[in-house]
Chain A
Amino acid sequence: MKFAIVVNEGPYTHQASDTAYQFTKAALEAGHEIERVFFYHDGVNNATRLTVPPQDERNVQRNWSELGKAHGLDMVVCIAAAQRRGILDENEAKRQGKDADNIAEGFRISGLGQLIDAGIQADRLVTFGD
């Protein structure tokens, strides 16, 4: 079965991203497909590579990046939400005249249409938020 996952909160403040990660991992382990993981609202903050959590704590961004790499996940960050919150890839940074980008490996920035498309393509859509 194909799942689409929506993550609406950032790392650490709320548990939503952790739960979404555990759910996605369990779905893959059970042999399901993940059509897309879509990061919206403050969920876009999961995609910055500049976080430095204490060593004895989980690294939410790295967990996603590694899971994405291991399973070839399509992890999409909403561009409108990302621009509001300062999540940029190289192209966007250039386009907006910013001096740096911060998107982590495995994430890509794209439009809200990717969320609707995920809802159309997947058999089930599960939202994690607050």
Chain B
Amino acid sequence: MSEPARMLLEGVGVDFPVFNAASLSLKNRVLSAMTGGRIDRQHDGAIVVRGLADINLEIQAGERVGLVGHNGSGKTTLLRVLSGIYFPTQGTVDIRGDCVSLINISLGIDPEATGRENIRLRGAMMGMTPAAVNARLDEIIEFSGLGDFIEMPFRTYSSGMQLRLAFAVSTSIRPQILVMDEWLSTGDEDFRERAEKRMNEVVHATEILVLASHTRELIESTCNRVIWLEHGHIRMDGPVDEVVAAYFG
């Protein structure tokens, strides 16, 4: 087996360049200073938005990290840095272990393709090899409960069925590191229980979980460490009860 997962961020900062900044009015400037990151002017005159600044973080295997903060506090940006999508503009990131982010579980799905084809597409999107998808194909179809509908185009499904298929594929992998923006859930009443069980299986099989959420109960029941982001800085980082009490008040 590979070495244990670990994430190490040292002095990480993320600056977004803004190219259509001509329309940047004072009003916008005030608003984003209140809600989001800082807007800065670089020495060469280009406008940048500071998404994250001076993030020092070490996450070890076994940690289930909850990420809290207001909208625009840098949660999504940090999730993207941790998933290896954004390469930080300052500092260094060292991530060991394969990482899968479940942010939009429908990404990669083609409505015209059949359920079976979509399993392959969605699987490929998550980094599964065709062999890995094939090995799990039967299990995914069974879990989705679609039966013969699996051979029908995805667009003919009810929204509940669509969600079930996307959920079944997305939760069929067991990565070392899992990054999620809010919990995955399904509306379907009888499916919910099974989905909940499966989500817990996935979470327990991963070595590191990073979960951004606005829900207090979810953080309390899932995580063993919470990071509170504010204006792209870490405001607080510690055990669940302390940070949750401070953040949710």
A, B from the same assembly: no
